[in-house]
Amino acid sequence: MANEVKSSGEVIRALEARGHDASALSPIGVRPNLGEYLALLWGRRHFIWFDSRHRAANQNSRNRLGNLWLVLRPLLDAAAYYVIFGYILKTDRGLENFPAFLLIGVLMFRSTTTAISSGANSMRGSRSMIKAFTFPRASIPISNALQSALTAVYTMLAMCAAIVVVPPFALPQMTWLLLVPIFLLHTLVNLGITLITARIGFYFPDLSNMMSVIGRFLMYGSGVMFPISHFLNPGLFMDIITLNPLFRIIDMARTALIDGAVPDLGSWLVVLAWGVLLTVGGFLFFWSKEANYGRDLG
């Protein structure tokens, strides 16, 4: 057709020529440039925050114990691993406070596995909203990451309380305050992971079924249940493991909470670098397919 309008700009100009206000119109199924996209996300910050808080508060509403499971589930996991690795397999290898060592590892590791699994299921789990509304799709994985962070706050408080009351009793010290920046860096890492797995899970739904395998490898490579340095000699393989951000985060938390010491500067820099790399890279990775998420749902 000779008079067919072929671009969004031409549509807007045609409407304005007829006296219509088209200033609030935006094209559908088109990826905004990065600056516009960030502005759109910022404009929806209140919705993202409300959504994450609401889902964090109601995720266990169907259970009789409600949100008490936010604390009970990770503590029960830690207790089961303690029986297996502490009493049966004797992997404590002379650690003075193996219960605290295990609690920190299991509970902080759980925060990252939750980020991976929630990201993998986030986009297809929100298909109705994606089809019905136009909004920056990154709102979904960001909201999921915030929900996981809010949930992890309860887990961290339970972890600290358990370390105090479980023998041999690690008493609070000033270095415990370092758990706050460690937690923020951990949240930054989890956000990047969530954005990456959100896009991968959208195009490869089988990712959710691979989570148990991925999580198992990540667990053994992060020193969650046993001190890796007691099993591996210094070398290339050990150097690779120490570059794992989750290994560093868990080790930093153990240093602050159990040893009462400040983690070394190298650990802070490694985790910060991973957090920035994963978040920025994950955001760009997700944004690059912004125009496809609604369309490819069919």
Instruction: Return per-residue pLDDT of the chain as tens, 298 residues.
Output: 344 444 556 655 665 666 655 555 555 566 788 998 999 999 989 989 988 888 777 765 566 655 677 677 777 777 776 676 656 656 565 677 888 888 899 888 888 888 888 888 888 878 777 777 778 889 999 999 998 898 888 888 888 888 888 878 788 999 999 999 999 999 999 999 999 999 998 888 777 777 777 877 888 888 887 777 766 666 777 778 888 899 999 999 999 999 999 999 999 999 999 999 999 999 999 999 888 887 655 5
Nearest in space to 246 (alpha carbons), one of 200, 201, 187: 187
Task: Let me know the angle formed at the C-alpha of 144 by 196 and 245, rounded to the nearest 5 degrees.
Answer: 50
Whole-number pLDDT of residue 297: 58
Whole-number pLDDT of residue 182: 96
Whole-number pLDDT of residue 2: 40
Rounded CA-CA distance 55/151 in Å is: 10
Q: Are residues 21 and 106 in the same domain?
A: no
First to last CA, the chain: 27
Q: Are residues 119 and 221 in the same domain?
A: yes
Whole-number pLDDT of residue 1: 39
Q: Are residues 142 and 18 in the same domain?
A: no
Q: Are residues 128 and 177 in the same domain?
A: yes
Segments forming the whole domain that contains residue 16 = 1-30
Q: Are residues 59 and 22 in the same domain?
A: no
Domain count of the chain? 2
Q: Are residues 190 and 114 in the same domain?
A: yes
Beta carbons within 8 Å of 133's beta carbon, 6+ residues apart: none
Whole-number pLDDT of residue 177: 96
Q: Are residues 156 and 178 in the same domain?
A: yes
| pTM score | 0.81
Q: Are residues 99 and 245 in the same domain?
A: yes
Q: Are residues 189 and 209 in the same domain?
A: yes
